[in-house]
Structure 1
Amino acid sequence: MTQHSSSSLPDYGSAVDWITGLVPFGIRPGLDRIHELMERLGNPHRRLKFIHVAGTNGKGSTCSFLTNVLVRGGYDVGTFTSPYITKFTNRFQYNGHDIEEEDLLRLANKLKPHVEAIAKTELGSPTMFEVSTALAILYFGTVVYPDYVVWETGLGGRLDVTNIVYPVMSIITNVGHDHMDRLGPTLEAIAAEKAGIIKPGIPVVSAAAQPEVIEVIRRKAQETGSSFYLLGEQFKTSVQSVREDEQIFTFEGLFRTIEGLSIKLNGAHQLENAAVAIMALEVLRQYQAMIIEDDALREGLMQTEWPGRLEMVQKEPRILIDGAHNPEGASMLADALRNVYHYGRLHLMIGMLENKNHEATIKHILPLVDTLIVTEADYHMKLNAEALGELIGRMREQSDESKPFELIVEKDWKQALNKLQQLTEGNDLGVVTGTLYLIADVRSRLLYNSDSEKGW
């Protein structure tokens, strides 16, 4: 674990290994170490315009909508998201393209002596996510200089290291039951953490739905003198038509109505994410003199893709992947399976992490499946397949809703995937869901027939 300041990282692989090797330092909420890092580097974040995006679900899709529309509108855009699905460089993008490996290596070598120096102080070593965040700021603030940075929080908001920035726009997509071990036991507590990204005088856009969550965000916006735009109040969508890979809708906002918009991402929740992105851009249009032509808006929305979320990765047999790793995500998946996709039998494969709200997540899926294959992600925090299988068995016995289904426990995710493909015949639908660590591996295997370089 100990690195020596004198040793520079020789190549991209070594740089990624060094950064991911900081994982044992864990997730340590607080901004002291990132402030120290930025101070040592000349505070490059202060010269950038950030659109800060927090929320339980939908952050990634919302960031993707924003990035695509802004790029098509003629702006240079940096995007920082997590976790990544295919490769470590996915997290740091400029105009939709990953950071070059040589840039990542150079910036990692610039960071390394500072990280090691801070590790020797009472602050302790910066974590993997802190170093990744610092690398993103260095990349955007000293290499590519984008007009806007679409900036996704890691966990929560208030104490998340991404909260070092002072944005031009704050977005809270929604608030649900996730990371309750770190963010608090109630929706109000979680909402207070997410609302921590709201800065004085900076507008905030949200699709929060629960009254107690809305109250927390509204109160924080009032305290900070921030304009608050809420889906269902200041803006809304009305659906014109829905079919697989196409949703056509009208956006109605405070400033104007835009008809005939289209997205190819599936699920009613993606309309919410699109609406949040549109409203954020409309507010920036009013207050930051942002110029986005309607054609660029339409094209950017329509061309937005987000891997691992309701993504059909194989046609024969039909295999759909969706990283529904919390109760709200599973509810959205179940809604899409009922209303968007047509199939004979439904075969579903799931693997989860040990710290998730398992029962509340799985209950949304049980009434729909004909076969449920329980497996394990290739990740150190995976939930044991037998334990998950036993939980599902108990839930099946206690449930009045679930129809009869076959339960298969297969620890090896590759074998589980083979079984899913074998079972999925003709008009059937195979679904892989749960933790994104499993989704990343399955996606890589089906699309590229290779192992992914997945992770946080």
Structure 2
Amino acid sequence: MMNYRQALDFIHAQHAHGTKPGLHRIKALMQQLGNPQERLKFIHIAGTNGKGSTATMIASVLQQAGYRTGCYTSPYVFDFRERFTVNGRMIPQKRLASLTQQVQSAAGRLIENGLEPPTEFELVTAVGLLYFLECGCEIVVLEVGLGGRFDATNIIQKPLAAVICSISMDHTEYLGDTLEKIAFEKCGIIKPGCPVVLYCKNTKEVQTVVSSRCREMNAELHTGDPEALEQLFDPAGGTLFAYRGVPFRLSLLGKYQCFNAVTAIETLTLLRAKKQITFTDDQLKTGLQNAYIHARLDQIHAQPPIIIDGGHNVEGINSLCEALDSNSTLSEPVIIFGMMRDKPYQYAIQKLALRAKAFICIGLPVSRAMPAHELRDIASLYCANSYACDSEAEAALLARDLCGGGAIVAAGSFYLAGGMTRALKKIF
């Protein structure tokens, strides 16, 4: 019988198969497993930024309304099991091990028959779908891993709704080198006759691609109204805003989360109008306020303010800079930074280092991570107090010594978020 550690080892070993487009592997795998996805209802979410936050908000409201709600997101920050939750609770270790063994056996039968082995994400998706069915989930909020058209999650049939979040430039080696090409891939989750909700701040290019796809698929398109959103001052912390005259409060920080919340509100109210779900206005407000997800402008300490943010593309870095500029308690922070070589690290360093009192660079435990000293060499062009550290613990101690009671911000990658959170919490 496989144990939890063996399950993780097996899953992560499949990373060697890489990222491969196509649905043929996941279709064959799910057929071996009895196609559990055909007995579940989904809200399917794609996009470049905001997928995890929007999925978490929608799932929180559904849970508040009494639905047994599955939520599938990526990446994780502290615990691999964050990726599969039912009513906010992670999958138990024993269940993950048991279901992974079941998926391993199914994948082995495919290989014995001469078929291509499933990728890591395809195996993880299969585990999640089995678990959500086993738990009797009434609705599953399903976040796309990469793109949409050829993503393993697109094995599902027509969802209750397809949600397209903010689209910007990222993963261009897989999705294309223009916004239009990337939007086309994201629109692959739109099924015939499926209602679609589009993030209200997407560019005209993206809106055109999504509108065209909806017409082709006879899918009604709904977009929130950015002019109907008013951000309000909240002395108690969090994020307070009004949408269509109705006040809402989020525990999540950042103006951008207001726009993600609009996407969630539009999705939920659309499904209520179609009598697919029911909830009260109070349940909507409480669910949105209760929603929480790690490493999205995540304040883990009050004095000094410590922020953890996993944003790793241009839009994510711009959102972080907007937050730093609009909050006086975060001005001139000590920044701890690490990023992947295939991400816009030069852009991120320039934007962040110009705002920093000190800039501390660390390498990350991933082969494609930028070395700390190379990041520091770039950062020193914009911030005189730039450093390279060999470990998260060293970076945390240096940040404590340099901050002088001011803010500390750890940013640049989700791979950085978990380790830096632990290191900083040990000394603050």
Normalised to the residue count of structure 2, the TM-score between the two structures is 0.95
Give runs of aligned pairs for residues 33-432 of structure 1, distance below 5 A. 33-141=25-133, 143-166=134-157, 167-207=159-199, 208-232=201-225, 236-243=228-235, 245-252=237-244, 259-343=246-330, 345-393=332-380, 396=382, 405-426=384-405, 428-432=406-410
For these two proteins, the number of residue pairs brought into alignment is 425
Q: Residues 244 and 191 of structure 1: is their aligned pair in 2 closer, same or farther, counting only changes over 3 Å?
A: farther
The percent of aligned pairs where both chains have the same amino acid is 33
Residue type at the aligned position of 2:221: F
Look up the SS of the partner of 2:193 in the other structure.
coil
Residue type at the aligned position of 2:198: S
Question: Going by fraction, where is helix more abundant, 1 or 2?
Answer: 2
d(CA) in 1 for partners of 2:208, 2:380: 39
Residue type at the aligned position of 1:409: A
CA RMSD of aligned residues (A): 1.8
Structure 1 segments (4+ residues) deviating >6 Å: none
Q: Is the 8 A contact 1:75 1:148 kept in 2?
A: yes
Shift of 1:163: 0.8
Shift of 1:362: 3.0
Shift of 1:445: 3.2
Look up the SS of the partner of 2:253 in the other structure.
coil
d(CA) in 2 for partners of 1:50, 1:448: 40
Q: Residues 155 and 35 of structure 1: is their aligned pair in 2 closer, same or farther, counting only changes over 3 Å?
A: same
d(CA) in 2 for partners of 1:30, 1:269: 32
Q: Residues 243 and 336 of structure 1: is their aligned pair in 2 closer, same or farther, counting only changes over 3 Å?
A: farther
Q: Is the 8 A contact 2:73 2:84 kept in 1?
A: yes
Q: Is the 8 A contact 1:119 1:126 kept in 2?
A: no
d(CA) in 1 for partners of 2:311, 2:390: 19
- What's 1:401 paired with? none
| Greater Cα offset, 408-417 or 154-163 | 408-417
d(CA) in 1 for partners of 2:149, 2:116: 20
d(CA) in 2 for partners of 1:304, 1:405: 39
Q: Residues 447 and 169 of structure 1: is their aligned pair in 2 closer, same or farther, counting only changes over 3 Å?
A: farther
Q: Residues 261 and 85 of structure 1: is their aligned pair in 2 closer, same or farther, counting only changes over 3 Å?
A: same
Q: Is the 8 A contact 1:376 1:383 kept in 2?
A: yes
Shift of 1:344: 5.7
Q: Residues 329 and 243 of structure 1: is their aligned pair in 2 closer, same or farther, counting only changes over 3 Å?
A: farther
Cα deviations by residue, 1:82-138 (Å, 9 ceiling, x for unpaired): 111111111111110011112112111211111122234554211111100000111
d(CA) in 2 for partners of 1:40, 1:440: 35
d(CA) in 1 for partners of 2:350, 2:235: 26
d(CA) in 1 for partners of 2:395, 2:384: 16
d(CA) in 1 for partners of 2:104, 2:50: 33
Look up the SS of the partner of 1:185 in the other structure.
coil
d(CA) in 2 for partners of 1:182, 1:162: 16
Question: Aligned pair 1:439/2:426, yes or no?
Answer: no
Shift of 1:381: 2.1
Structure 2: runs of 5+ lacking an equivalent: none
Shift of 1:156: 0.9
Structure 1: runs of 5+ lacking an equivalent: 1-7, 253-257, 397-403, 450-456
Look up the SS of the partner of 2:267 in the other structure.
helix
d(CA) in 2 for partners of 1:91, 1:19: 13
Cα deviations by residue, 1:402-442 (Å, 9 ceiling, x for unpaired): xx54111223232122211221122x111000110111111
- What's 1:20 paired with? 12
d(CA) in 2 for partners of 1:125, 1:99: 25
d(CA) in 2 for partners of 1:244, 1:216: 40
d(CA) in 2 for partners of 1:244, 1:57: 27
Shift of 1:245: 2.9
Shift of 1:318: 2.6
d(CA) in 2 for partners of 1:222, 1:146: 31
Q: Is the 8 A contact 1:317 1:421 kept in 2?
A: no
Shift of 1:349: 0.9
Look up the SS of the partner of 2:232 in the other structure.
strand
Q: Residues 299 and 180 of structure 1: is their aligned pair in 2 closer, same or farther, counting only changes over 3 Å?
A: same
d(CA) in 1 for partners of 2:314, 2:236: 23
